[in-house]
Amino acid sequence: MLLPSKMLIICFFILQSCSEAPRENQGETGRSEPPVREIEIPAFNKDSAYHYVEKQVSFGPRVPNTEAHRKAGEWLAQSLALFADTLYIQRTRTRAYDGTVLNIKNIVGVFQPEKTSRVLLCAHWDSRPYADHDPNPEKHYTPIDGANDGASGVGVLMEIARIIHETRPNVGVDIIFFDAEDYGQHQSITQPDQDTWALGSQHWARNPHRSDYNARYGILLDMVGASGATFKKEGFSMLYAANIVRKVWNIARQQGYGQYFLSREGGYITDDHYYINKIRGIPTINIIHQDDTTPHGFFPEWHTTGDTMEVIDPETLKAVGQTVLAVIFSEN
């Protein structure tokens, strides 16, 4: 679903295809981080989040232009509308790398629209049309369930939406479910193009739901549900919003989730946050599973037919969800 890339000393450009592992950067120099003030943080319900993941997967692969995609999108919009103060459905048609015209929609939930100080939370809700990293080559054009790669981030944010509907933080929050993130080039293509990915977020970054939209910062969740997940400090996140990365990782440790949020820098991942940073100029970070033990650098079932509910661990959903809640409720 993503295109890893490398960073050069003077400038950077994308060199790697989706099949390559993200490279690690050198670790951060010793930097003292400010203590987190004690605040009252609502409890994140891991079972509720798990239910939201499971419900998405029950529709089948959420590939644009399919009936499963249409039904899942309707359910997501209806569910988010129960909690948000305002709901925007951003429909558009976009052309995929293979010429297919995709009918897509971004789903935006706005909480406390009167507040000018805002935080953006986002994830992608579509799933990959190809299991192009499946160990069985016969499945390389089979759509995937995308339980972790897509549905996990949405599930966490749906639970956060439910909570902030009941208990309001001091900042306005916007939750966006981006479409067509995972319709990038098939891994068999030898000349990769990073811009074939994240089509929904590219459209939103150029045409936000409000023309004057801005936020203090954003947090993207991607692949946040697998057992034993490890979240390194992703490269573009450090490039564009290092202070937000440090803040989130510090709060994660304060919450007792340091085993998930590692004090190490990871690879540069071309994901939805890249275009929010580059096009919209909102400093946005990516909480994404990066794995040292796999050849591609992501969780073992990435872009395979094995990305099912069997992969999802409620404890990982809670680690991420509780951390993000603590970040939001720490804002003045």
- The domain that contains 228 carries what CATH number? 3.40.630.10
Residues 6+ positions from 216 with CB-CB distance below 8 Å: 117, 118, 119, 171, 331
Q: How far is CA 58 from CA 75, 155, 186, 194, 288, in A?
A: 11, 13, 25, 30, 23
Q: Provide the token pair at 128.
A: 């990959």
**Per-residue confidence band for 5, with pLDDT thresholds at 50, 70 and 90:** very low
Task: Specify if 22 maps to a domain.
Answer: no
Q: What is the pTM of this model?
A: 0.90
The mean pLDDT of 279-291, rounded to a whole number, is: 98
Within a domain: 104: yes
**28-49 pLDDT, tens digit each:** 444 555 554 567 999 999 999 9
Q: Where are the beta strands (DSSP E) in the chain?
A: 3-7, 12-13, 86-95, 101-111, 118-124, 172-178, 217-222, 231-233, 261-265, 268-270, 284-288
Residue 23 lies in a domain: no
Q: Is residue 125 part of a domain?
A: yes
pLDDT beyond 60 at 4: no
pLDDT at 28: 45
92 bridge partner residues: 104
**Residue 218 counted as domain residue:** yes
Band (129; pLDDT cuts 50, 70, 90): very high
Does the pLDDT value for residue 13 go beyond 60?
Answer: no
| Average confidence (pLDDT) over 125-132 | 98
Q: Is the pLDDT of residue 158 over 60?
A: yes
> Which one, of 45, 51, 48, lies nearest residue 309 by Cα?
51
Q: Is 136 within the bounds of a domain? A: yes
Lowest mean pLDDT among 22-26, 135-139, 298-302: 22-26
pLDDT at 66: 98
Residue 213 included in any domain: yes
pLDDT at 332: 87
Q: Tell me: the pLDDT tens digits for 187-243?
A: 999 999 999 999 999 999 999 999 999 999 999 999 999 999 999 999 999 999 999
Question: For the chain, what percent of residues have pLDDT higher than 90?
Answer: 88
Residue 18 has pLDDT above 70, yes or no: no
Tell me the average pLDDT of the chain: 91
User: What is the rounded end-to-end Cα distance, in angstroms, of the chain?
Assistant: 35
Give the pLDDT mean for 14-24: 38
- Structural domain contains residue 38: no
User: What is the domain count for the chain?
Assistant: 1
pLDDT per residue as tens digits for the range 87-115: 999 999 999 999 999 999 999 999 999 99
CA-to-CA dists, residue 86 to 104, 174, 208, 283, angstroms: 20, 10, 15, 23
313: containing domain: 3-8+43-329
Phi, psi for 178 (deg, rounded to 5):
-85, 145
Which tokens sit at 21? 């592992």
